[in-house]
Amino acid sequence: MLQPIAVGQKSLAGYTHLAGRPLIAEIKELAEGLEGLRVLHVSATAFGGGVSEILYTLIPLMNDVGIEAEWQVMLGREEFYNVTKRLHNALQGNPDELSADEWKVFDRYNAMNATEITGGWDVIIVHDPQPAGVRRHVPEKGARWIWRCHIDLSSPNESAVEHMVPLIGEYDNTVFHLQDYVPAALGAGRDGVRIVPPAIDPLSPKNMALSPEDASFVCDQFGIDVDRPLMCQVSRFDPWKDPMGVIDAYRVVKRDLPEVQLALVGSMALDDPEGWEFFNTTMAYADGDPDVHILNNFNNVGAIEVNAFQSQADVVIQKSTREGFGLTVSEALWKARPFIGGDVGGIPLQVEDGETGFLVSSPEDCADRSLRILREPDLGKQLGRSGKEHVRRNFLTPRLLRDWLRIFQER
């Protein structure tokens, strides 16, 4: 079998004080006709990215309302992850095309994993491109198949899209973060397309309330001077996240505020073979600056540590050049921190420029907004308060659960 992932238990009732009673009541009403629905989630990895973070909360909550939900991770080797990383990049706009041999690797691993899926599922939800080819080999194993896209398809490599559209077009439903991500080749107004943004778990270790004292203590353990201003970006080490652009912005800020520090914090995922190479490239670009702290999960940076860095930061940044959604945006806003993000993908969905944060398109803009926030603490507090309320109303997991239940009700 594919690798089953244990997700533990969560109670929807525990979110009532955050999500509000009307939403919780709506979820319970939607769930009444779905008891016993068998739902399988299939993804490429169980850690290191937004998909896994979402599923560790979403699946227990599905189970709590009476759905029989499980999660299985596909099996792969380095050759497969090398290909799917290139595919991921191509779908987000990289001009490099996959070779015929690379597509054969993709197809072979999808076929191999398909044979490991057991049958009898009411709904099978396949997350992202890596396992998108599974359905073609075993359509009979699920009564309904849904492909869930988590990446930015607004400006894709057309060759990659042409190869993928026939695969995803076979699904009963496709779910995207934004309408702009729906490939034109799927057909305008296609009945099976649904638009559902993701969400964060406000009760997870990464997002739960952390006292200023605890946040300071954790940051101090990693060499951060908690008495000096801190800029911080939390993301994978990936060219699309533009950590070098963040370093450029930091250097501009540092010319005016020499005491400023920068933390670049990320995790290394199993399905991202380029991660270490880009991590090392980022380290080299920092050029030994003692005020640039580049950390990952191999430095014992886990969920609590990420929480502490985001909670302690005076400015939280996500200067992506492509971004499917960017859970780290909602994470930072939920902690009421002043936020600056790239004006791309799903970030503007979360950030109302000048109201809940700032949107930028260059390192210079990022530096300008950072300096403004650092010099105007009241502005930072105002942005933080507005951002937190925006996330509370739109981007917490109970809302995501409700949206999935609505899709299930359509059967």
Residue entry with tokens 């290909």: 83
pLDDT at 225: 97
pLDDT at 270: 56
Per-residue pLDDT of the chain (411 residues), as tens digits, is 689 999 999 999 999 999 999 999 999 999 999 999 999 999 998 876 789 999 999 999 999 999 999 999 999 998 999 999 999 999 999 999 999 999 999 999 999 999 999 989 999 999 999 999 999 999 999 999 999 999 999 999 999 999 999 999 999 999 999 999 999 888 655 789 999 999 999 999 999 999 999 999 999 999 999 999 999 999 988 889 999 999 999 999 999 999 999 999 987 765 566 778 889 999 999 999 999 999 988 888 999 999 999 999 999 999 999 999 999 999 999 999 999 999 999 999 999 999 999 999 999 999 999 999 999 999 999 999 999 999 999 999 999 999 999 999 996
Give the pairing type, strands 261-266 and 193-195.
unpaired
pLDDT at 267: 77
Question: What are the extents of the domains in the chain?
Answer: 3-199+396-409, 212-394
pLDDT at 188: 56
pLDDT at 269: 63
pLDDT at 95: 93
CA–CA distances in Å: residue 345 to residues 150, 360, 366, 368: 11, 12, 17, 22
pLDDT at 38: 98
pTM: 0.92
CATH number of 3-199+396-409: 3.40.50.2000
Residue entry with tokens 């398909």: 114
Q: What share of the chain is helix, strand, coil (3-state, %, to 5)?
A: 50, 15, 35
Q: How far is CA 263 from the centre of its chain?
A: 19
Give the Cα separation of 407 and 194 in Å (integer): 8
Tell me the CATH class for 212-394: alpha beta
Q: Which residues pair with 38 in a beta bridge?
A: 68
pLDDT at 127: 97
pLDDT at 189: 58
